[in-house]
Structure 1
Amino acid sequence: MSKRRARIEIPLLAPDDAPERARRLGHFLRHVRDEAGVRDAEIVDLDGQPTLRAVVNQGTTPLATLERLARHAGIDFRERWGHIVLGVEGMASPQSASNIEAALNSLPNVRASASFPSRTLRIEFDRSSCQLPEIVMRLSRMGYRVAATHASIDQDAAFLPRKERIAEGVTRAGNFLREHPDFAWAGSGAALLLLGVILSWSGVTSGITTPMFLLVYVLAGWHTAWDTLQALRRFTFNIDVLMFVAAIGAGILGHWAEGALLLVLFAFGHAGEDLAMSRARKAIKSLHEVAPETAVLRTDGGTRTVHVDELQIGDVVLVRPGERVPADGSVRSGYSTIDQSAITGEARPVEKSEGDEVFAGTVNGDGAIDVVVEKLSTDTTLAKAIRLVEEAQTQKSPTELFTAKVERFYVPLVLVATALLLFGMPLLAGGAIEDWKTWFYRSMAFLTAASPCALAIGTPAATLSALGRAARMGVLIKGGAHLETLGRLRVVAFDKTGTLTLGQPRVVGVHPLHGVDEAALLHAAASVEVGSAHPLAQAIVDAATERGWGGGAASNVEQVVGKGLRGVLDGDVIEIGSLRMIEDDPDAVRAVRNTIEREQRGGATAVVVRRAGAPLGVIALADTMRTDAPNAIAALRRNGVERIVMLTGDNEGAARAIAQQAGVDEHHAALLPEDKMREVARLRDAYGRIAMVGDGVNDAPALAAASVGVAMGAAGSDVALETADVALMHDDLAKFPETVRLAKFARRIIAQNLVIALGVIALLAPLAITGVASIGWAVVFHEGSTIVVVLNALRLLRFKPEAPTTTTD
């Protein structure tokens, strides 16, 4: 788990157009160089192929991060590099994960990151140097069984079984023992140990009991011995090495029962922490369980049941009341309510009728609906969410990387200290045989007490629990690094349109002139705007329809560049646009100027309408602020965010109005996407960690420039789901401050776990040296602290969002 550097070469796909190609590659390279774990990054031409060359830290910069930056820049990777997430059966401890990483990272151009809490393994490999079957074979030789997960996006993974099918065909008890094999080995060893102790107390000779204790060594300690062997083969020292040496040392002293007890308790400790962590894994697994396996397909002859993998785009499926929607698509016919909580975290069912979007895995209410399939089973929002969560479990946080680095140096120091106790103290005491026995015993107790098991498991356990809880809230956090960044935020930047506002302009003022009534003004405007795709046009059409407009459209509609639209209705020319549309008529300008300026000061966009050369009046439109925006911003302040900024491409008046209503500290208007990116970079330099919250599409460059990019409403946007660091699946702004609060809670839990782990070592090690704590007590407290930090981490699964509050002026 040490930090290793690797030189990579990644072929890139970029547009053929030379200026556009240069722009995109330059944008990509700038962001790659901003990554903390990357140095010496450059783009070179290899046989006409643009190629990224860089030196990366294997633990901090996964290939997925570089691929995300490439997508932000509008380029892609060639197929030379593969990456896959595997489920690993037999990964029984953090030390197993360390051994797997060390073994695979020794292969040419392979980068591996293993997560013991989730039992998953992320592998990134250069297909020209190493193939996936070779990697799987290496794992098999180490005694691990692997299976594909939803995040297995490498095409070479077809030969692997699915992770959820590994345990098919066995009983419930068999499944439990398969999932938690340490219980079987530890239980067998404990039963035999108890029998041996009873026989010893009964006066049975050591010739009978010692072989029994030796068998306990085999039953309870074989896994520790195997991991020790794997570690020593690579000249690394980990916790298993410490435990194994302590157990062997106790046996050499003749304390076979205590050595056996050490291994039994160590095995039970591993089994207990694994069982506790299974609760966190279930939070992740709950996403898998909502995915339906079959669908009712409409055919010419009626219906038939098919597997969801057989569905094709354009198929029509019947979803009966109470059934789960089998695929992403849109309602073709019928009406119902859909429970989308599994995907978006929404508490209430959502009404769905013809044309509305639905997601695979959501639950249909009381009505039957026909759904047109729009995505294959592998591309649904649910499938992508599962893949992203599974990949996130293998992304190590800075704290986890730091503790791994500490462990790498700490374990050899413990071995050196043990050797000094073992050989130095008896010599200082006179060198008598009893002194050697005493210090051998104490050194083995010290070795046990000083083992950093709780230190190794405390951070990843908390990270997995937090990721699982966030997923149940409808929030996808793509790794421990982003979780920690959220927990340390100092500044948050919001995009305005669609984030702090609804992104749906509406008519907020109708000001007719010269006795024209409101309906006539709106009807004339709608006749020209009805064919336009502009959001303002749709708002005018909606308002006119509410006032009885029959849908009569103007003819010969044309755009007047920089001014607005012009069309002909009933022989009259109708014009709608900015004040410049009527600048040829000074009297008309004077008639409407004050109204337009007043509306603009209030934050609205004002358009003037003219018919047959005579101004009809002014229509004011504005994007409506989300009702929960002030509460969300207040909640961020309560959670320690120091400064809140709004960035928008809208005009200053509209920006100021929303900024004042929402309560942000500063705002910047009339920004292009590149301007937003530069502003985020400035804020990051000034304040440190910054989150950028937007839709993940139009503001993708700004999200990429932030310490953590947050996309709202990602369930309906593939781009947002793939590119953001944090994806809020539902269009609910209140979820973001709750996510920040969860991240800060996780940060506190991680800090508590570090204090517990280091505190027990600091207390127990001196007691072991002075002879107060025996090997048995050392093991009990050592394993007890490990269980305590895991249970403490599981508190994150019980995290409850704050009750909504009302902000008053």
Structure 2
Amino acid sequence: MEKLTLNLPVLLPDIPDVKDKCVTRLISTLEGREGILRAHIKSNGEPTSQLCIHFEPDVISLHRIKNLARQAGAQLHDTFGHLLVEVSGIRHPRHARTVTRRLQRLEGVVDAYAGATGWVRIEFNRSMITKYNILEMLEAMNLPVKQRANSYQDSITLVDGQPESSKQDQEQQKGSGEHEETSESKYESHQHKELAEKDDEHPKDKHDHGHNDAEHTHKHEEDEESHEHAHDHDHGGIFGEKTELIFSLICGGLLTTGFGLSYVSTVPGWVSLALYIGSYFFGGYYLVQEAYTEVRAGNFEIDFLMLIAAVGAAILGEWAEGALLLFLFSLGHSLEHYAMGRARDAIKGLADLAPKTALRKTDGATEEVLVEKLQVGDIIVIKPNSKISADGVIINGESSVNQAPITGESVPVDKMEYENPESIDEDVDSIKDKYRVFAGTINGNGSLEVKVTKLAKDSTLSRLIKLVNEAEAQKSPTQQFTDKFEKYFVPAVLGLVVLLNFAFLVINEPFSASFYRAMAVLVAASPCALAISTPSAVLSGVGRAARGGVLIKGGRPLENLGILKALAFDKTGTLTEGEPKLTDVITFEGADEQELLRTAVAVEGLSDHPLADAVVRDGKQRLDGIDLPEAEDLESITGRGVKAKLNGSTVHIGNAELFEEADGIKLSDDLKQKVEKLEGEGKTTMIVRNGDRYLGMLGLMDTPREDAKDVIQKLRNMGLTHLIMLTGDNQRVADAVAKEIGIDDPKGNLLPEDKVEAVKKLRESEGHVAMVGDGVNDAPAMANSTVGIAMGAAGSDVALETADVALMADKISVLPFAIGLSRKTKSIIKQNLWISLGMVAILVPATILGLSMGWAVIGHEGSTVVVVFNALRLLGYKA
């Protein structure tokens, strides 16, 4: 496997030397990720040190490495750029491999990969090559870049037909480190020039102002028209995208007619020959183009082998068999395109979820505007039963919202207005989901007013589409194996064919018979089915996952997810609700529950501690509108609790240690036992004393999610044998939660670095482990796992960037679906490999022993069609 070593300029702010803990954390985060062999700092005594990374580009992309480093606290200069573009003209996986090899040979390109779906990912050194050079190279390869004017992936808006980035856009982009991305219509030379000049002006800018490659000067209407035109002629031809299929059917018709007339004695022989030649033309039209492209690039792929076999059949006078080969091969290609198109449509359908316009409210009046023109802070009106047009926070109205298009949740979610609209800009990331809505989701019966918090290009839906497209441009382990196998297999086939041409020297047969056998073997041994088997399954799997509210970033995590035997869970917010609740109210010394709660709520109402919030919220609910006394003079006692004045008396609320230190009557042994009993259940206790009288105690606990126990059981039924829980809470709390939901190995009192070590140990013992967390606090541990899984990724850019697998909904219940889909994908990939390699293993000996070329063609193309449609079954997967 290819390995690369890169030196990246890295800025470590406020760090005195490279032995600082921040540097250690950065190194640990990077070295734990699969595909990174080693990471270390090379300091030259200057403010900017060198981060030296040894990695395998087939396993992890440079863009991914830079994101991981940013999450660990390092700011990386954009010495290396990342370009993700969608192009027209990539016809199938074999052609995609040719494109990949040509791009990788460009000076300055660190790594490149072209997917069969048309997405091309390129990592490049800005000091050696520009985006202009890369885009020019793509056009020279007849791969025009697509561009959608109205796309959620564009990073600019169009004003009067001219590109314009808002100041806010540029400020957001400046430190984001996002990759450049372009999307649909042919670039013109002057546009490339403009891009190159911009690229060269700011080669070391923290961010290239994003996706400037997408700039163009067409109006919306013109772009829509050009997009349709490009789409219709993706494969080139007078019949648009169906040209190859129609040419194939014409080939078959001419072949059938010619073959039938050959048995009519009154028809001259040249008529059938003319029809066969016509069949050759239509069947070989695309084959010749592809073979020429490959040979010119120095590759001898399957298309070239097929062309040799067809020409060989013609030389032998076997025009009918040669025409049959071309007919079935071109028909197989057409069916491949259809099937891959089906899988692509499952992903591209995401882009159709969001409306193109929004109702913006200004000075009490509403106007319909394009969603690209919405700015952060705008107020939009969402009518009942309509699609929501932007990510935002509800400031007026209540409704239920169908979030299935984004999160996969089958039941609509209740939404309500945020009580403090003025503070939205300050704490937008911490606002709870019940106040937030996402572009592409569907409003229920209520009317809503929403304050926009993200631009269209930065919405959750937009990022989901972008990351799914990037996932298409990542190789899976099985695809790496098949590519490597073909690299040696095709030359071996050519060698065998050459040897078979000389069989007439060994056995008693004419040269023509040896040549025919060699051509038949050439057809039989061509691994078309092998080339398409893995990409089609991975694409279908990723598309199905996205429809189910799961983002899987490529074939590697998709395959790895299915081989897991161990899972590590963060506790807070993953297995539990993420916020404490008042679970127990226990009275002492004749006090009643109402007196205890009124006292506790009155005092804790003055505090801003999370536990105090829980006491006030749940206490008021239990008191059900009963009047509260007024407390004053709150004083916090760090690590112990609080005290305040209530009706002239001093009230203490806190843990047992507080009352050992505070003045007044100490806790009796009986009360201590009650406290220990409650804490033994994993609950946090708050003892309440008014003056010298103990009123009682409150028990609080971050309660397990309702579905956590059921999910854990499902995972065990699926064969996952080692399930552990990692938490910073004390061990008793960890044990209590683990016992309730069925986790067998809880680990408490862990710091973030302790979680990393726990994941590393589990990986050493189990081989593969997934870490499930929120993608923010658990980023280092997730980076050191085989597969990092983030929950509640909708609305969280950090979670989307950090994780290998992102569960869009804040629900753990979708995890078994993701693992089940992965296992089904892995199973179908294995089936496809057996079918493709098995057919080759059967046909090669059979053709050597005399099987005709016609049957070899039927077996060869039949297996190709079978593996593609077998992969499509994943689109209908149900857990």
Q: TM-score, normalised by structure 2?
A: 0.86
> Alignment partner of 2:29: what SS?
helix
Tell me the residue number matched to 2:542. Answer: 467
Aligned residue runs from structure 1 range 136-151, under 5 A: 136-148=135-147, 150=153
**More deviation, 149-158/343-352:** 149-158
- For 2:259 and 2:132, the matched residues in 1 are separated by 48
Indicate yes or no: 2:559 matched with 1:487.
Answer: no
- Over 3 Å counting, the alpha-carbon distance change for 1:599 and 1:775 in structure 2 is same
> Alignment partner of 2:145: what SS?
strand
Aligned residue runs from structure 1 range 627-646, under 5 A: 627-646=706-725
- For 2:146 and 2:369, the matched residues in 1 are separated by 25
> Alignment partner of 2:696: what SS?
strand
- For 2:17 and 2:811, the matched residues in 1 are separated by 39
The superposition leaves residues 5-29 of structure 1 with CA deviations (integer Å, 9 ceiling, x where unpaired) of 4443333343234369943333222
Tell me the residue number matched to 1:284. Answer: 347
| 1:666 equivalent among 731, 742, 745 | 745
Indicate yes or no: 2:850 matched with 1:765.
Answer: no
Tell me the residue number matched to 2:422. Answer: none
> Does the CA-based 8 Å contact 1:602-1:653 persist in structure 2?
yes
Indicate yes or no: 2:313 matched with 1:250.
Answer: yes
- For 1:606 and 1:6, the matched residues in 2 are separated by 55
Tell me the residue number matched to 1:109. Answer: 108
C-alpha displacement at 1:509, in angstroms? 1.1
Tell me the residue number matched to 2:572. Answer: 497
Amino acid at match of 1:428: V
Indicate yes or no: 2:863 matched with 1:793.
Answer: no
> Does the CA-based 8 Å contact 2:656-2:667 persist in structure 1?
no
C-alpha displacement at 1:343, in angstroms? 0.7
Tell me the residue number matched to 1:538. Answer: 613
- Over 3 Å counting, the alpha-carbon distance change for 1:272 and 1:167 in structure 2 is farther
Tell me the residue number matched to 1:313. Answer: 376
> Does the CA-based 8 Å contact 1:324-1:361 persist in structure 2?
yes
> Does the CA-based 8 Å contact 2:599-2:629 persist in structure 1?
no
> Does the CA-based 8 Å contact 1:269-1:783 persist in structure 2?
yes
**More deviation, 203-212/276-285:** 203-212
Indicate yes or no: 2:597 matched with 1:522.
Answer: yes
**More deviation, 591-600/467-476:** 591-600
C-alpha displacement at 1:227, in angstroms? 2.7
| 1:510 equivalent among 585, 596, 619 | 585
| 2:409 equivalent among 346, 364, 370 | 346
C-alpha displacement at 1:520, in angstroms? 2.2
The superposition leaves residues 51-86 of structure 1 with CA deviations (integer Å, 9 ceiling, x where unpaired) of 333343332221232123213312233223222322
Aligned residue runs from structure 1 range 340-419, under 5 A: 340-355=403-418, 356-419=435-498
**More deviation, 740-749/500-509:** 500-509
- For 1:587 and 1:559, the matched residues in 2 are separated by 19
| 2:760 equivalent among 681, 686, 699 | 681
Tell me the residue number matched to 1:273. Answer: 336
The superposition leaves residues 499-541 of structure 1 with CA deviations (integer Å, 9 ceiling, x where unpaired) of 1111222111112222222222222222332244433222100
Tell me the residue number matched to 2:76. Answer: 77
Indicate yes or no: 2:637 matched with 1:581.
Answer: no
- For 1:249 and 1:34, the matched residues in 2 are separated by 54
Aligned residue runs from structure 1 range 607-618, under 5 A: 607-618=686-697
| 1:157 equivalent among 197, 213, 235 | 213
C-alpha displacement at 1:652, in angstroms? 2.0
> Alignment partner of 2:501: what SS?
helix
The superposition leaves residues 682-701 of structure 1 with CA deviations (integer Å, 9 ceiling, x where unpaired) of 11101111111112222222
| 2:521 equivalent among 446, 452, 457 | 446
Tell me the residue number matched to 1:598. Answer: 677
> Does the CA-based 8 Å contact 1:14-1:21 persist in structure 2?
no
Tell me the residue number matched to 1:556. Answer: 633
> Alignment partner of 1:681: what SS?
helix
Indicate yes or no: 2:252 matched with 1:190.
Answer: yes
Tell me the residue number matched to 1:65. Answer: 64
> Alignment partner of 2:6: what SS?
strand
Amino acid at match of 2:341: S
C-alpha displacement at 1:321, in angstroms? 1.3
Tell me the residue number matched to 2:858. Answer: 780
- For 2:609 and 2:299, the matched residues in 1 are separated by 63
Amino acid at match of 1:60: V
Tell me the residue number matched to 1:27. Answer: 25
The superposition leaves residues 281-308 of structure 1 with CA deviations (integer Å, 9 ceiling, x where unpaired) of 1211121110221100001261111111
Indicate yes or no: 2:362 matched with 1:299.
Answer: yes
> Does the CA-based 8 Å contact 2:371-2:456 persist in structure 1?
yes
- Over 3 Å counting, the alpha-carbon distance change for 1:301 and 1:664 in structure 2 is closer
The superposition leaves residues 632-676 of structure 1 with CA deviations (integer Å, 9 ceiling, x where unpaired) of 111111212111111111122221111111111211111111111
**More deviation, 689-698/68-77:** 68-77
- For 2:555 and 2:123, the matched residues in 1 are separated by 18
Indicate yes or no: 2:396 matched with 1:333.
Answer: yes
Tell me the residue number matched to 2:176. Answer: none
- For 1:660 and 1:472, the matched residues in 2 are separated by 34
| Identity rate, percent | 41
Q: Compute the RMSD of aligned alpha carbons.
A: 2.5
Amino acid at match of 2:371: V
Indicate yes or no: 2:298 matched with 1:235.
Answer: yes
- For 1:173 and 1:127, the matched residues in 2 are separated by 35
- For 2:223 and 2:771, the matched residues in 1 are separated by 36
- For 2:630 and 2:247, the matched residues in 1 are separated by 79
Amino acid at match of 1:422: N
- For 2:809 and 2:21, the matched residues in 1 are separated by 33
Amino acid at match of 1:133: Y
> Alignment partner of 2:506: what SS?
helix
Tell me the residue number matched to 1:9. Answer: 7
Amino acid at match of 1:702: A
> Alignment partner of 1:332: what SS?
strand
- For 1:20 and 1:351, the matched residues in 2 are separated by 50
Amino acid at match of 1:303: T
- For 2:299 and 2:3, the matched residues in 1 are separated by 18
Tell me the residue number matched to 1:568. Answer: 645
- For 1:231 and 1:248, the matched residues in 2 are separated by 17
| 2:533 equivalent among 458, 466, 481 | 458
Amino acid at match of 1:112: A
> Alignment partner of 2:712: what SS?
helix
- For 1:239 and 1:706, the matched residues in 2 are separated by 38
- For 2:281 and 2:23, the matched residues in 1 are separated by 58
**More deviation, 618-627/406-415:** 618-627
- For 2:249 and 2:180, the matched residues in 1 are separated by 35
- For 2:250 and 2:13, the matched residues in 1 are separated by 63
- For 1:577 and 1:366, the matched residues in 2 are separated by 46
> Does the CA-based 8 Å contact 1:313-1:374 persist in structure 2?
yes
Report the number of matched residues.
Answer: 793
> Does the CA-based 8 Å contact 1:15-1:21 persist in structure 2?
no
Tell me the residue number matched to 2:41. Answer: 43
The superposition leaves residues 300-355 of structure 1 with CA deviations (integer Å, 9 ceiling, x where unpaired) of 26111111111111100011112111111111111221111001111111122212
- For 1:353 and 1:542, the matched residues in 2 are separated by 17
**More deviation, 387-396/541-550:** 541-550
- Over 3 Å counting, the alpha-carbon distance change for 1:719 and 1:275 in structure 2 is same
- For 2:10 and 2:242, the matched residues in 1 are separated by 43
> Does the CA-based 8 Å contact 2:82-2:124 persist in structure 1?
yes
- For 2:124 and 2:646, the matched residues in 1 are separated by 65
- For 1:390 and 1:644, the matched residues in 2 are separated by 32
> Does the CA-based 8 Å contact 2:585-2:699 persist in structure 1?
yes
> Alignment partner of 2:794: what SS?
helix
- For 1:395 and 1:532, the matched residues in 2 are separated by 50
- For 2:673 and 2:554, the matched residues in 1 are separated by 53
C-alpha displacement at 1:255, in angstroms? 2.3
C-alpha displacement at 1:129, in angstroms? 1.4
Tell me the residue number matched to 1:805. Answer: none
